[in-house]
């Protein structure tokens, strides 16, 4: 996946991932890896978020989470290097990654985030190592570079090769498209599993849905060679020689899903995780049937660093046992079925037709509150579907569906005025986030504040206390959402400070807002103020609380 800086471009050729300037502000690096004879594209580093403008469909990789916000790129320092030293010797861990939603992307406010980012940070912190990221275009490029010891570790949704005898090697480039991450020539070590997915056959939902491979006789199935399914493709090819195969050299599987959705390609093999995360971004494709068994997603380690692989395996087993892995899976790979397909289609239509009327209001609210405008727009869509005249059965009104009591508390004079309503809701949401314990990190802080926006801070605190009583983490949204529905049951709400609550509602609210937010990230761009940076208002200090969750 190519990431192009929006400022100055240069034509220097990358000789090594290690040829990067140290970041001036001490943040993690994310330099651009380029194989020999390829040109690198650099942008001046900035401590503020950098916006990157690429093809809209290209940026909707897998789930459409934004990769549109800048990963800083660094110019080169030197043209020669010795062998890559072990992390313990250099006190530095170099990680080469294939970017994409879920595993590695840049968030709306410019910070690197994702499943692999969080895990790498934790591991580096435990080992007291500085952490350096570099980005590459494809899975095959990541694995090849790690095999050549250009980096210690390769990550980014990589499928660990199967113990597959000689099937993939016999298939050869002419049969599988070549360049597969399954090819046995890639000499790397592999860690234990961090996630899993299976290959699936997808089809254009306006076309024929095949029940199995027999139904595809004479048809063509497309695939991206670097995705790592060469073994499954070869197996099917032997059993069903009547099926034609079309390897497409696309920068990411998102491009292939897009082509199936728009009808350019009838059938394709992709990973189930990619299909799941893309479900509400590309609306005219669906899964026909599994194309193989579950595959392990793992990390590639340079072949010389066996001790590093052992340390990583021990780390993965530990975070699986303590629940961290499950929480990160929930955080970055949520169930997309919370938004029905027809709802996502309506949202995309309203992004084109209705959102432009109110976008400046959300931009203004971001500048006054510091809350990212697309998150505010997602809340507003959940509340009113961007209808400023909406009135609920309980009497809440306006674009943001603010209650009369909350309006009085916020000094909101006219609930039906969209401009007032959006700013008031943004400030209210900001205040809710500020009242949560400072130790709660993002994105859990945002998801918990969203639950409080829906059900009230008092009921959220009751749920957090209940979570703690049940030996769960009161600072983790994935744990708190397990106990929120219990507040509707007498055996639980009789002990809650505020009593009964319809605890299932905030769980559905948060999941739907998250889904809408993902779609908005894929179809809209970040807003920067006239001063060229986000200018969040200062958040109030969180008042002390006597609750045990403090």
Q: Are 72 and 111 in contact (CB under 8 A)?
A: no
Spell out the residues 6+ positions from residue 408 whose beta carbon is closer than 8 angstroms to its own.
Answer: none
Residue 502: strand pairing partners: none
Q: Are 133 and 155 in contact (CB under 8 A)?
A: no
Instruction: State the CB neighbour count (10 A cutoff) for residue 128.
Output: 8
**What φ, ψ does residue 153 adopt, rounded to 5°?**
-135, 145
232 a catalytic residue: no
Residue 132: strand pairing partners: 29, 94
Element (H, E) at 412: none
Using the structure block, give the residue that is written with the tokens 């975070």: 319
Spell out the residues 6+ positions from residue 213 whose beta carbon is closer than 8 angstroms to its own.
Answer: 236, 239, 240, 243
Any idea what DSSP says for residue 135? E
Using the structure block, give the residue that is written with the tokens 């504040």: 449
Q: State the catalytic residue, choosing from 198, 383, 413, 438.
A: 383
Counting Cα atoms < 13 Å in the Cβ hemisphere of 364 gives 12
Spell out the residues 6+ positions from residue 513 whose beta carbon is closer than 8 angstroms to its own.
Answer: 375, 378, 379, 382, 450
* 273: its two tokens: 């995780």
**Alpha-carbon span 143 to 468, nearest angstrom:** 42
Q: Which residues are catalytic?
A: 383
């Amino acid at each position: 996946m190519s990431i192009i800086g929006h400022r100055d471009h240069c034509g220097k050729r990358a000789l090594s991932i290690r040829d990067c300037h140290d970041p001036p502000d001490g943040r993690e690096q994310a330099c651009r890896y380029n194989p020999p004879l390829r040109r690198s594209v650099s942008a001046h580093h900035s401590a503020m978020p950098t916006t990157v403008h690429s093809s809209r469909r290209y940026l909707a990789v897998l789930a459409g989470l934004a990769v549109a916000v800048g990963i800083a790129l660094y110019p080169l320092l030197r043209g020669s290097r010795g062998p890559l030293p072990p992390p313990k010797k250099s006190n530095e861990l170099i990680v080469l990654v294939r970017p994409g939603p879920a595993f590695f992307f840049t968030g709306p406010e410019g910070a690197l985030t994702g499943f692999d980012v969080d895990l790498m940070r934790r591991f580096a912190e435990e080992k007291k190592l500085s952490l350096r990221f570099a980005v590459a275009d494809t899975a095959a490029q990541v694995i090849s570079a790690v095999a050549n010891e250009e980096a210690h570790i390769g990550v980014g949704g990589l499928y660990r090769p199967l113990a597959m005898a000689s099937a993939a090697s016999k298939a050869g480039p002419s049969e599988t498209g070549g360049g597969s991450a399954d090819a046995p020539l890639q000499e790397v070590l592999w860690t234990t599993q961090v996630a899993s997915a299976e290959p699936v056959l997808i089809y254009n939902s306006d076309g024929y849905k095949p029940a199995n491979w027999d139904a595809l006789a004479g048809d063509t199935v497309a695939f991206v060679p670097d995705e790592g399914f060469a073994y499954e493709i070869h197996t099917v090819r032997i059993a069903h020689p009547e099926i034609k195969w079309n390897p497409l050299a696309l920068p990411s599987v998102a491009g292939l899903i897009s082509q199936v959705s728009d009808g350019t390609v009838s059938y394709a093999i992709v990973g189930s995780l990619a299909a799941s995360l893309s479900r509400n971004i590309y609306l005219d494709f669906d899964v026909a049937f599994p194309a193989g068994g579950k595959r392990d997603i793992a990390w590639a380690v340079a072949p010389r660093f066996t001790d590093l692989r052992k340390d990583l395996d021990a780390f993965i087993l530990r975070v699986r046992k303590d629940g961290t892995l499950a929480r990160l899976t929930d955080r970055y790979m949520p169930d997309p079925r919370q938004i029905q397909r027809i709802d996502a289609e309506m949202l995309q239509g309203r992004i084109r037709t209705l959102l432009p009327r109110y976008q400046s209001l959300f931009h203004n609210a971001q500048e006054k509150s510091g809350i990212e405008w697309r998150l505010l727009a997602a809340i507003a869509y959940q509340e009113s579907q961007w209808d400023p005249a909406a009135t609920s059965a309980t009497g809440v009104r306006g674009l943001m569906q603010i209650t009369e009591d909350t309006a009085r508390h916020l000094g909101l004079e006219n609930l039906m005025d969209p401009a007032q309503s959006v700013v008031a809701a943004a400030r209210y949401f900001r205040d809710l986030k500020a009242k949560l314990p400072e130790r709660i990190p993002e994105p859990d802080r945002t998801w918990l504040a969203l639950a409080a926006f829906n059900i009230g801070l008092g009921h959220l605190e009751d749920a957090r206390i209940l979570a703690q009583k049940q030996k769960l983490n009161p600072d983790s949204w994935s744990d708190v959402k397990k106990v929120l529905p219990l507040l509707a049951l007498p055996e639980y709400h009789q002990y809650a400070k505020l009593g009964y609550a319809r605890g299932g509602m905030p769980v559905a609210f948060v999941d739907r807002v998250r889904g809408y937010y993902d779609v908005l990230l894929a179809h809209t761009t970040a807003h920067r103020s006239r001063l060229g940076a986000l200018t969040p208002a200062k958040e109030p200090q969180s008042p002390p609380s006597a609750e045990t969750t403090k």
